[in-house]
Structure 1
Amino acid sequence: MDLHQLRHFLALAEHGNFTRAAQATFITQSAFSRSIQALEQNLGCQLVERGTGGRGFALTVQGRALRCRAREIIDGVSSLRADIIGLEQAPAPLLSLGCGPLPAARLVPAALAEFVDRYRDTRIDLRVDVPDALKEYLDNGEIEFLIADLRHIETSKGYVTQALRPRRFQLFCRRHHPLQTADDLSFRALADYPLACSSLPAELRVLLSERAGRGSLPINMECKHTDILIQMVTSSDLVGIAAEDVVAHLVSHGIVERLSFVDAPRGLLIGGTCFGVVYRADRRLSTRAIDVIETIGRIDATYTATDPATAQTFDLAI
């Protein structure tokens, strides 16, 4: 008797027909019948009472008893296999972190890309959310650290904060956008086009609405995921607003065009968002978390403002 014979017998009991049972176990009907006969010979009893003319069948008393025992045996073997394999597979290390929509666009993916090459066995739990939600995840122990705009997170002595370089914002559009044809592009030209952004700071929202000649800035869409914003901008007349490092990357790959205005307000040139890493002082960071934070700091140190004239005062923008 072997497990194949028991599986064939269970298939016969389930389907109630030799032909369908043979098809379900992917063998010929003749081979299936021989397997059932061999099982009866091995057990020394009849398991199936076949009808006259080969039509239909019924399980004998021994057959009904075997059906219950065979199911227990098959399930036990499957459980045993899973248990044995599980002994060889220790749980994969887990890195849990959170970040705001803006650092999720360029900075954090770049750091995690380097990280996965060094720790290929690690599972990553990355949560992209607003600062208040991230801080709650941190306090509850659901993440080890977060990267977000420090101006929107209230911290105390119980937290460790590592400030990163501020990012200013830039406006961008698809290639061959109507705004690209203007020789002296004025900020008021924005009044004729829909706008979309990712987590625009409140002070820039007010600034843009004033200079664009609107009582309020009608942002048509504000989203957490920059890739959605980019796809919409590249396929419509939508004007996007994003952090400068995101725009610079897209421009360098010929995906979008940067918009420059002759009357651009100084607040737009030097204002932006202040990234920072935050974690709890009363909790020890894992080796992997420390590695990612160091990688983020190293990548962040390479970031500089595009406009040399404002680069010197860029760190003082916030």
Structure 2
Amino acid sequence: MKLSQLQCFVALAELGSFTEAAYAVGLTQSAVSHALAALENEVGVTLLERNRKGVAALTDAGQKIIPHVRELLAQAEAIEQEAKSARGLAKGKLRLGGILSFSPGLLAGVLARFQKKYPDIEVVLFEGTIQEINDWITCSIIDVGFVLHPAKDVESTYITTDELCVLVPSRHRLHAQTEVSPQELCEEGFIMAKDGCSSQLMELAGLELKQFKPLTRYHANDSATLLAMVREGLGITLLPRMMLPKKLEGVVALPLNPPQMLQIGLAVRSQEIASPAAVLFVQTVLAWMQEVGEIS
């Protein structure tokens, strides 16, 4: 069993295409196909099969095996990075999880700083919801990612604090208020993100009360869609201030009373086995935050 075979297997599972997988691992399609066949022959089961459209999909056996493969590859990458670090080199790959629509200024700023300081570390960015990033870390799909701190089942480092806001249409009955209490939102319909953090945000806003269960009318994938739906009067939503554009049109952001703050962190699966690149990225973000002082 070779690492190159495992890399081809994971690339095929993630991309679903022999063409794209070959490009990702730097091999020909024929080489990727032979690598998969050799791996399947060695383990004695079919790991991937093509559907009628030619898309490669995991078999039941492949779904059970791939978490172990991802973990093995992550550790192999960490071993290589540790060996290079011992020789005074900072080289390798960093798989980073960024929250969709989350503070472009923060992400761009820290990436620019990191790439300037460590030009030989390749950063591969994965964008998803907070819940997806948590899942990707635990499954070794990414090495480090932005999360709500503290995060469940992973180890997170606090980096900054953000404010939770209520977003209402500009013509809404609450639009002129300077702050909003949880009680004033009891009769409202909500539009929330499609991830496991929606209920957590509602709890932080004081809305998950035993005597009151908020009505969620719609779910959306990203903050831009949420804001567009709020603008059209389809409901209201809750978002961290960092996920808001600098200029809001047709929507008003109101602070909660009492104010509700969110802690933002960077998480790895385990501090003990985190790759050197992941450790360097966390250190870079902490240093950048100290210099900047606040997020733009």
Bigger Rg over Cα: 1
Could you state the TM-score of these two structures normalised by the residue count of structure 2? 0.49
Could you state the TM-score of these two structures normalised by the residue count of structure 1? 0.47
User: Would you tell me which structure has more helix in proportion to its own residues?
Assistant: 1
